[in-house]
Homo-oligomer: A and B are copies of this chain.
Amino acid sequence: MPHRHDLNPRVSVDNVILGFDDENLNVLLIGRSLADGKMDDVLALPGDLIYENENLDMAAQRVLHELTGLTNLFLQQAGAFGDPDRLSKPKDRAWLKTVRQEPEVRVITIAYFTLINMHEFAPQPASFAQSVQWVPIQDIGDLAFDHNQILKTCLSRLQETIAIKPVGFNLLPTKFTLGQLHKLYEAILEKPLDKRNFRRKIQKLGILTHLDEKQAGVPHKPSRFYKFNEIKYRELAETGFDNFGF
């Protein structure tokens, strides 16, 4: 006996794909093309409706793969967003009309976030007939739909997650300096961290391995390179640590 006001919605996933450029967190956003061939001035998170035979995680992985070619990444669900009016801003409605057979149907979306090394993916200006670009989070204006809200939620979830698991390593090249890692944590947590205390704490975890290699060509004292030691990380995770709180 379905209730007569039951809803028959669509379900999508939207991905907050974060990258780090040694200075700021960036989000991968797409521009929408309008009917007249021009680009909308409103940016959006990449997302898609889910397919019949895939689960939610698979749909999120697919969206990420189709956009960046990247596969098999850490991709964490951050929540479901389903306000009835989440697609009803005028610009959003205009765009939906050009692209959907059913622009009026309600869409509930499941948000995911993931962290990638920015240098592993350089946006192709014309990929998918959409513009794709990295945007520093502090430069982000009004996004499409409820995507500002989704982004905010994902950033909060990232802050919580990084206090429990060192997921940040996904954002860095395989070899990195402690300075980069330090700036990354500051960018994610949005607060300054004392350099010596940060170094002491992160090194005490024992999940960093230093390489016998240093920066070259930098106009200052060269820094050692480190890599993330996944084996020691797993050992640590199994014995049950609680937090990486900074």
Contact = CB atoms under 8 A, between A and B. Distances in A.
Interface in A18-58: 48-56
20 contacts: A1-B99, A1-B100, A2-B49, A2-B100, A2-B102, A3-B48, A5-B51, A7-B49, A7-B50, A7-B51, A9-B10, A11-B11, A11-B82, A11-B108, A52-B84, A53-B84, A55-B82, A77-B80, A79-B79, A82-B110
- Copies of this polypeptide in the complex: 2
Interface residues of A, number: 38
Interface of A: 1-3, 5-11, 48-56, 77, 79-84, 99-102, 106, 108, 110, 160, 164, 242-243, 245
Nearest to A100: B2
A5 B62 CA distance: 14
Nearest to A243: B245
Closest 4 CB pairs of A and B: A5-B51, A56-B82, A80-B80, A55-B83
A206 B141 CA distance: 40
B5 A52 contact: yes
A156 to B, nearest CB: 11
Given A56-B108, A79-B77, A11 B7 contact: yes
A84 B51 CA distance: 10
A54 B50 CA distance: 22
A108 B13 CA distance: 12
Contacts of A56: 80-83, 108
Given A52-B106, A243-B243, 15 more contacts: A1-B101, A3-B49, A3-B51, A6-B10, A7-B49, A8-B10, A9-B10, A11-B108, A56-B83, A77-B80, A79-B79, A79-B80, A80-B80, A160-B160, A243-B245
A77 B157 CA distance: 13
A238 to B, nearest CB: 16
A110 B49 contact: no
